[in-house]
Amino acid sequence: MQPMNRSQILLVLGVTAIVLLGIAKTWTYFSPVPILKLFWNFNHAGVGIGLAIAIALASTVIYVLWESYRQSADFYLEFILKPLALPDLIWIGLLPGLSEELLFRGVMLPEFGLDWAGVILSSLCFGAMHMSSFKQWSYVLWATLIGGVFAWSAILSGNLLVPIVAHILTNLISASVWKIRNPAPPIA
């Protein structure tokens, strides 16, 4: 893939979010299965925050110990994050965190079933969406596992707020850490 500039990355993020939301809306139009509920609850927001911290810590351990994952994550994150400024990272958290959770956990999970089968199927779809090439299999595996964690958090809480908060914060934490550890070279 050709490297993209800041404007192209932000445009792709926005368009992808709109497409995923469009798919979710279209799906709900044709399906009688109700979507997972989303409502404000301080305890559920706290669970989402705690889950994000746990995922970020687990990702750090895996990043250090598993070379294939480290290479895949670095490739993916460099492609996406390198052109962005630090304030742009808010979009890395918000756009995928909202649109992906609404589609994969809000719509797809109830459609497939609020059980192991639904968790597995929606998580496999979530992981597949993160595949940029077969060389990135370890990153796809990680995304699939995290999709499962997000799915179970939605099922156990009965609230889409938990995986949304966890997803947004996980993206923000990992993007910020990567961006700080890999600063852009000064422009001469």
Cα atoms found within 13 Å of the Cα of residue 185, Cβ hemisphere only:
2
Q: Quote the pLDDT of residue 76.
A: 87
Across all residues in the chain, what is the average pLDDT? 95
81-107 burial, b at 16+ Cβ within 10 Å, e below that, comes to bbbbeeebbebbbbbbbbbbbbbbbbb
Sign of CA dihedral 154, 157, 161, 162: negative
Q: Quote the pLDDT of residue 188.
A: 53
Q: Quote the pLDDT of residue 124.
A: 98
* pLDDT tens figures, 157-179: 999 999 999 999 999 999 999 99
Q: Quote the pLDDT of residue 187.
A: 59
- The mean-pLDDT minimum among 97-106, 140-149, 176-185 falls in 176-185
Write down the domain spans for the chain.
43-181
Strand, coil or helix: 4: coil
Average pLDDT of the residues in 48-73: 96
* pLDDT tens figures, 114-130: 999 999 999 999 999 99
- Roughly what angle, to the nearest 10 degrees, separates helices 161-181 and 67-81? 90
Average pLDDT of the residues in 38-63: 97
Strand, coil or helix: 2: coil
* pLDDT tens figures, 1-45: 688 999 999 999 999 999 999 999 999 999 999 999 999 999 999
Cα–Cα distance measured from residue 185 to residue 52, given in angstroms and rounded to the nearest whole number:
29
pTM of the model: 0.95
